[in-house]
Structure 1
Amino acid sequence: MNRAIIAKSIITSLGCLALFAPNPAAAQIIPQPWVSVGGKDGDTTYAVGARALNLGVELGVGPDGATGVDVLRFLRLPVVSPYVGVGYYSEDKGVALSGGVQMGAGDRFFVGAGYNSVRGVNGQLGIRF
């Protein structure tokens, strides 16, 4: 075989391996819980959430006693983990859209900031097990 063909095959194989290589599963299976406090229109809002396998769920309480759940999708990057989500809230609040970012604050803790269309701007504090 030609050396150029062998080199191209090796480079392509390594590229595919890097692209499709699985992330360490043990670290992703253990849920990472967090609490969130924020505000919208002068009301304080609260939420609790958990993340595993780059998916998350957040149960929140918004203004006027609206309660709901958001499903989140995380993008795992080296330093930060941005996320987007969609949820549904009671008290005629309807569908909520959310987005934000979480990042490590040491070996066992992480912090985050986000926005939810029902609950407003919020800060997050979580723990890794």
Structure 2
Amino acid sequence: MKIAVITKTIITSFGLLILLAPQRTHAQLVPQPWVSVGGKDGDVTYSVGARALNWGAELGFGPDSATGFDLLKFLSLPVVSPYLGLGYYSEDKGLAVSGGVQVGAGDNLFLGVGYNSVRGINGQLGIKF
């Protein structure tokens, strides 16, 4: 019981840290798009997303033809950008929670890994303009 309370407290604290963290003054104004492929319960899942001003949006396609939209909040650090998000999916999948991290892999490329409660674990590949 104590472990569950501690885990919920840590997740909530991390979420509040991301939402309340100050943004950089030179925030990225040009959207940074990415594509994602993953899987859950043996089904392949896909998504496309974009990020600007430390906020992101992702259109996802999950198992059982579920389609949904996620709103993401990023914490922009020098190389690594963790994120948390909430979404809603069709086909009675309902509310989705997501989180992950994106890492710069060069001047114009970034890689990421994430988890979405509807779409499962996914890998991301994106570009910076």
Output the TM-score relative to the length of structure 1. Answer: 0.81
Structure 1 runs of 4+ off > 4 angstroms?
19-22
Alignment match, 1:23: 25
SS of match in other structure, 2:64: helix
> Deviation digits for residues 68-119 of structure 1, max 9, x if unmatched?
0000000011120000000000000000000000010110000000000000
Q: Is 2:44 the partner of 1:44? A: yes
Letter in 2 for 1:122: N
* Letter in structure 1 aligned against 2:39: G
Note the alpha carbon deviations across 1:23-66, whole angstroms, 9 max, x for none. Answer: 214xx110000000000000000000000000000000000000
SS of aligned partner of 1:82:
strand
Unaligned ranges ≥5, structure 2 = 1-20
Quick one: structure 1 residues 40 and 76, their matched pair in 2 at CA, closer, same or farther if it must change by over 3 Å? same
Whole-Å separation in 2 of the counterparts to 1:125 and 1:89: 22
Q: Distance in 2 between matches of 1:126 and 1:114?
A: 13
Structure 1 residues not aligned, in runs of 5+? 1-18
1:112 aligns with 2:112: yes
Number of paired residues? 109
SS of equivalent residue, structure 2 residue 92: coil
Q: Secondary structure of 2:77's match?
A: coil
Q: Scaled by the length of structure 2, what TM-score is found?
A: 0.81
Same amino acid, percent of matched pairs? 73
Inter-CA distance 123–93: structure 2 relative to 1 (3 Å threshold) = same
8 Å contact 2:23–2:54 — kept in the other structure?
no
C-alpha separation between the residues in 2 aligned to 1:100 and 1:20? 19
Q: What is aligned with 2:64?
A: 64
For residues 76 and 21 of structure 1, do their structure 2 counterparts lie closer, same or farther at Cα, with a shift above 3 Å needed? Answer: closer
